[in-house]
């Protein structure tokens, strides 16, 4: 497994660069390198480059967040959205996009209502608030039992999801498409600053998870064994809860809700290289980035003249793959 991990880390950057090159050259318009670098292709090159960069940052963030939550919850079915961050981000983004009175209260965000930064900031605030509520609900006598944390995340996610559906039901047809497109995932990067912010949060979260990989290994063994080996389980869980939530909020606020990346990619990488987080974290980051860059290419190339929402493509790819994983005759997906 160690040799597999080393080989994976050796090949993963090349695979990501190849996927990025394909994302720049291919699409509804297939251009040669000379055409892309010419003045006539400058605008198209910039647009594709922003999309590829955003896809890589979001894919890495979701994959590593999945690794973290699966470790601290010791649940192979956990994903980055299990703690309500996606519902909170969706609610915040919907309020920013709608910007209209609902139930007699003005929810307009003024000049931010349709700006890319306004939607991203509102989504990030919604995700952060949802995670904070889950954290407070999960605390029991100063401790955070993983089952309580999981149940609190599910309940908060359902409540926020119901609020989101209520707001969507009040939206006029002119804005309904914008809300639904965001909820299904979009990598249409219109602000270079948003791409920079997504990369910053991704790099920060991935680096923190890699530096604390030993603690993730101990948590995955169980809280009692981790305590015997010198780790404070509650403190470690809170720290990783924050890191995973930061990665999730950053990804969702910049791209909408993209499912299955944080669920399937950690499984696949774990099956290939083993459960050691020192290699699993960077390998999952590269794999998630490569996967989403390729999915982004498919989403804008599969149907001529139109773009498929990213979340739809990941569901088509991830759903059957995950069902195949569940059908495998293994006692555990951790090895």
Which tens digits make up the pLDDT trace of 289-300?
Answer: 999 999 999 888
Q: What is the predicted pLDDT for the residue at 288? A: 95
Phi, psi of 102 (to 5 degrees): -130, 130
Q: What is the predicted pLDDT for the residue at 122? A: 81
Q: What is the predicted pLDDT for the residue at 280? A: 93
Q: What is the predicted pLDDT for the residue at 188? A: 77
Q: What is the predicted pLDDT for the residue at 53? A: 94
- State which residues of the chain have pLDDT below 50: 100-114, 329, 331-335
CB 161 within 8 A of CB 82: no
Residue 123's nearest CA partner among 154, 87, 71 is 87
CB 37 within 8 A of CB 312: no
Residue 82's nearest CA partner among 266, 297, 236 is 266
The tens digit of pLDDT for each residue in 219-276 reads 888 878 888 888 888 888 889 988 988 898 888 888 888 888 988 899 889 888 888 8
Q: What is the predicted pLDDT for the residue at 283? A: 94
Q: Which domains does the chain have, with CATH numbers?
A: 2-327 (1.10.3470.10)
Q: What is the predicted pLDDT for the residue at 36? A: 67
User: Global pTM?
Assistant: 0.85
Q: What number of H helices and E strands is found in the chain?
A: 14, 0
Q: What is the predicted pLDDT for the residue at 187? A: 83
């Amino acid at each position: 497994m160690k040799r597999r991990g080393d080989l994976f880390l050796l090949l993963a950057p090349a695979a990501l660069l190849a996927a990025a090159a394909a994302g720049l050259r291919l699409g509804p318009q297939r251009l040669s390198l000379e055409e892309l670098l010419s003045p006539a292709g400058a605008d198209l090159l910039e647009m594709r480059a922003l999309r590829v960069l955003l896809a890589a940052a979001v894919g890495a963030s979701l994959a590593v967040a999945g690794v973290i939550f699966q470790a601290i919850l010791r649940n192979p079915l956990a994903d980055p959205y299990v703690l309500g961050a996606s519902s909170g981000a969706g609610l915040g983004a919907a309020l920013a996009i709608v910007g209209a009175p609902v139930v007699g209260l003005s929810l307009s965000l003024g000049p931010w209502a349709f700006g890319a930064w306004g939607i991203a900031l509102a989504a990030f605030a919604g995700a952060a608030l949802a995670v904070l509520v889950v954290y407070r609900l999960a605390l029991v006598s100063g401790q955070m039992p993983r089952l309580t944390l999981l149940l609190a995340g599910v309940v908060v996610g359902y409540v926020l999801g119901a609020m989101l559906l209520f707001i969507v039901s009040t939206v006029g047809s002119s804005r309904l498409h914008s809300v639904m497109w965001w909820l299904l995932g979009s990598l249409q990067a219109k602000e270079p600053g948003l791409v920079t912010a997504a990369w910053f949060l991704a790099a920060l979260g991935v680096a923190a998870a890699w530096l604390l990989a030993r603690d993730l290994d101990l948590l995955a063994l169980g809280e009692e064994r981790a305590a015997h080996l010198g780790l404070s389980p509650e403190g470690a869980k809170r720290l990783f809860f924050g890191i995973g939530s930061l990665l999730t909020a950053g990804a969702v606020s910049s791209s909408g809700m993209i499912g299955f990346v944080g669920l399937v990619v950690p499984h696949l990488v774990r099956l290939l290289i083993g459960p050691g987080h020192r290699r699993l974290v960077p390998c999952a980051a590269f794999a998630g980035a490569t996967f989403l860059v390729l999915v982004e290419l498919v989403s804008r190339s599969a149907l001529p003249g139109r773009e498929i929402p990213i979340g739809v493509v990941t569901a088509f790819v991830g759903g059957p793959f995950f069902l195949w994983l569940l059908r495998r005759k293994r006692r555990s997906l951790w090895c």
